[in-house]
A and B are shown apart, each in its own frame.
Chain A
Amino acid sequence: GENVEQHPSTLSVQEGDSAVIKCTYSDSASNYFPWYKQELGKRPQLIIDIRSNVGEKKDQRIAVTLNKTAKHFSLHITETQPEDSAVYFCAASRPTDSWGKLQFGAGTQVVVTP
């Protein structure tokens, strides 16, 4: 089955700097890669996703890049703000032939210091 590894497990950045989280996946048939943000005590919230026919996707200060050949994808947060502090999870899926099951990485705790 699919295996997703996520690095780093913790990331401390100064406000205004950029943050990058990287994930690798094992199943070359995976073609959908969402990112979730989870604030303390809250539910995971979908913040951005990318499909395998796209190399990069942006939404304001966040972007995701995908390298299908290397089987890795990354989340980039620019101009970080204190409200970006949270745990971020990557995931991989084959929606059309696996009932949409998501395989999650272990998460990255991001701390943005003022």
Chain B
Amino acid sequence: DAGITQSPRHKVTETGTPVTLRCHQTENHRYMYWYRQDPGHGLRLIHYSYGVKDTDKGEVSDGYSVSRSKTEDFLLTLESATSSQTSVYFCASRTSLEQYFGPGTRLTVT
């Protein structure tokens, strides 16, 4: 599983509160990704990073921001959580081609 962990694994939060999810990898991979998974939509890319402090938007980036201050950590922040952001969030890191996923974070926004 490419040494990828996510924290927290489960979180319930209220609408309007900020939330930060953490992804940590021990493989020294340059590329990291954040996805959300919703029924009927597969996995959709939120943001990605191609190096420390180098990040860019994916297809569903509205309402999310990311930061990468160290190779091993990639943080996803919901500035003001909304009910539409209730989802399962997966991060991934990449070798030369293959992406390997973390265990996921189930986020519920009430």
Contact = CB atoms under 8 A, between A and B. Distances in A.
A86 to B, nearest CB: 14
Nearest to B6: A43
A44 B101 contact: yes
B90 interface: yes
B74 interface: no
Interface centre among B58, B96, B99, by most A CB within 10 Å?
A: B99
Contacts of B94: 100
Interface string A39-54: 0001111100101000
Contact of A1 (B33, B56, B59): B59
Contacts of B42: 6, 89, 104-107
Contact of A100 (B40, B41, B99, B103): B99
Contacts, number: 54
Interface in B45-69: 45, 48, 50, 56, 58-59
Interface in A86-101: 89, 93, 95, 99-101
B90 A101 contact: no
Interface residues of B, number: 25
Contact of A43 (B1, B31, B50, B56): B1
Interface centre among A93, A100, A103, A107, by most B CB within 10 Å?
A: A100
A100 B56 contact: no
Given A36-B101, A101-B58, A106-B41, 11 more contacts: A6-B42, A34-B99, A43-B104, A44-B43, A44-B101, A89-B42, A99-B56, A101-B33, A102-B43, A105-B42, A106-B40
Interface of B: 1, 31, 33, 40-45, 48, 50, 56, 58-59, 90, 94, 96-104
